[in-house]
Structure formats: C-alpha cells, structure tokens
Amino acid sequence: MNDLSFPVPLWVWAAIMVGIAVMLSIDLLAHRDSHVIGFREASIWSAIWIAAGLGFGLVMLAWQGGDAAETYYAGYLIEKALSIDNIFVFALVFSFFAVPDAYQHKVLFWGVIGALAARLVFIFVGVELLRTLFWTAYLFGAFLIWTGWKMAFSKDEEVHPDRNPMVRLIKKIIPTDTRFHGDRFFTRINGRRVATLLFVALVAVEATDLVFAIDSVAAVLAITTSTFLVWTANAFAVLGLRSLYFCLAGLLRRFTYLHYGLAVLLGFAGVKLILSETPVGKLPIPLTLGFITATITISIAWSLIATRNQAQETGGDTRRCAGER
C-alpha cells in the first residue's frame, strides 16, 4: 500500500467534480432520445472516456510527478479490468428483465451515478479505517483474497436478479407494474403512481454494483490510501462503463478465462495489502503496475485464442455490440 500523501486544494476537488458532472451531462444530452447504440457510436464514446482517463494520468505526472502518475494508472487499470466483470452481470440483468436495447443506456447512465456515489462513500470510509486502524488492512486483504478465490471457482453459479434483497424490498414498498412504459421509470395507472419494470431493472443494476464497488475500492486501496488518487481512478474507470458495455456485450462469450485473471488481481491486491503491514512493507508501484498489465493482457489473450474457433463458427457474431443484436 502506498500512502503518497500530498495536499489537494478544495478547488482541485471542485474542478474534478464539475468536470465529471459536465462529462455526464454531455453524455446524457447525446443519448436523450433513447436510441439503440451501435458499435461505431459505442467505440467513439469508449475512446473518449479512455482518453480522458489516460489523459488525467498525464495531468498527475505534470502536477505530482511519476510516482503519483504510476499509482493512478495502477488503480485505473485494476478498476477498468474489474469493471469488465460488471458488464457480465449487467448483460444478465438486461436479459433477465428483457430490457429493450434502446432503454439500456438510460439504465446504465443512472446506474453509473449511483456507482460513483457509492464508491465515494466507500473510499472515504476505507481510507479512514486503514489510516487509523492498522489491522483493517488484514481484514480487507483477507476479503480480497476470498473474493478472488470465489471468483475463480464459483463463476458458474447462477445469478437471480429478482432474488436480490434490495429488488425485493423495492417491490414491497413501491407499487410496481411488471411492464415497460417506454423509457420511463415511473408512470401513472388508474391515477396511481407506480414504478415500471425499467425501474426494477435499475434497482437490480445498482444493487449488484454495490458488491462490485466494495471489491474494486478495496483493490485500489491496496495500491494507495490517497483519497484523491483512489477516487479519480475509480471515477474515470466507471465513467466509461456504459460505452464499454455496448462494445463488449457481444464479445462476452469469448472472455472465457478473463475471470481467472481478475481473480488473480484481487488475490494480488489482498496479499499486497496484508504485506504492507508486515516487515516486508509496501511493494513497489512499478512492480504492481507491471503485474496488473501483464495479468490483464494474458487473461484476455488466452481467452481470445482459446475461443477463436467459436468466433469463426458463429460467423463473427461475437463482434457485434449489444445495440446490434
């Protein structure tokens, strides 16, 4: 774990928050007509979000030097890799509730808003715990190792969005209609305001993302306890989650072995966090960055090579995006 304490003026925090709000507003305006998002549009937006994330690393390099930039990139990469696993669950939720392609972006947009809010809370709480109670590093580390083990060996377990406690609670406390009403989350039936099935799908997305938020924030905290670096790495990675979904939804079946790579990353983060409170101390950031990059590259390459025959047999269908199904 790398402390990397440096002063962050309030105006810098304010500028980051305003920048994120502006980017989200532009994205919302660009997709206000609830159209089906194709591969070309998703690719352009993905490139924009990735460029923004990588570009911020250069800002950190110019502002705080190489150590801060390397730490940010390590956090950004591990969060970006873990976000791919979110996409698997989002695809399952959309399939389970049969969410029309044209409405999926709206669900993901508001899902990202919730994801950013949850991560902000987890980051401040996690950083404070690690700084004041040294033994929480062992708890977080053990949690990450356990999560990695579960990811590696329990990947085939079925997920039932309708059984999620939060989804079931919402259905009990809010009158809900089991149909879609365009892209609306709420509507009126016989003069009564009710939630639509699209809102239930949004709750399912938010509820499942809470679990991923705990994993991903803990993994980045294993790299640094700098609140600013952890938050920006999470924020820039999550901002591109919607576009990444529409780019990769058709390719998910080919990422056969990616979950092993993600499991290794979680285990590595857990071990790194535990070692930081032992005589071994903190592992060098260049080593961490190199390990993350190599693990992601190998697991994706291994998956694509192993499933190349599958791609040929399906006539390239896996190259299509969610909006082109």
pLDDT band at 320 (very low <50, low <70, confident <90, very high): very low
Asked whether residue 157 is domain-assigned, the answer is yes
- Within a 13 Å sphere around the CA of 239, how many CA atoms are in the beta-carbon half? 28
64 phi/psi in degrees, rounded to 5: -120, 0
Q: Does a structural domain hold residue 119?
A: yes
pLDDT at 199 over 50: yes
Q: How confident is the model at residue 280 (pLDDT cuts 50, 70, 90)?
A: confident
Is 144 within 8 Å of 219 (Cβ atoms)? yes
Query: At residue 5, what is the residue type?
Result: S
* Mean pLDDT, the chain, whole residue set: 83
Q: Count the alpha carbons within 13 Å of 308 in the hemisphere toward its beta carbon.
A: 6
Q: Is 195 helix (H, G, I), strand (E, B) or coil?
A: strand
Checking if the pLDDT of 46 tops 90, the result is no
Segment 289-318 shows an average pLDDT of: 76
Mean pLDDT over 165-183 rounds to 85
Specify the pLDDT at position 272: 87
Residue range(s) defining the domain that contains residue 76: 10-324
Residue 157, pLDDT above cutoff 70? no
Tens digit of each residue's pLDDT (9 = 90 or more) over 72-88: 999 999 888 887 777 87
> pTM of this prediction?
0.80
The token duo for 92 is 């399952």
pLDDT of the residue at 322: 46
Is residue 108 in some structural domain? yes
- What digits encode the pLDDT tens for the residues 103-128? 888 898 888 888 888 888 889 898 88
Encoding tokens for residue 70?
A: 């390397």
Q: Please check the confidence at residue 257 and state whether its pLDDT lies above 70.
A: yes
The number of distinct structural domains making up the chain is 1
**Quick check: is 20 in a domain?**
yes
Share of the chain above pLDDT 90, in %: 20
Of residues 162 and 90, more confidently modeled: 90
Tell me, yes or no, whether 4 lies in a domain. Answer: no
What are 320's two structure tokens? Answer: 């299509």
Task: Judge whether 5 lies within some domain.
Answer: no
Q: What is the pLDDT of residues 234-247, one digit of tens each?
A: 999 988 888 888 87
Inside any domain, residue 2:
no
Asked, for residue 129, whether it belongs to a domain, the answer is yes
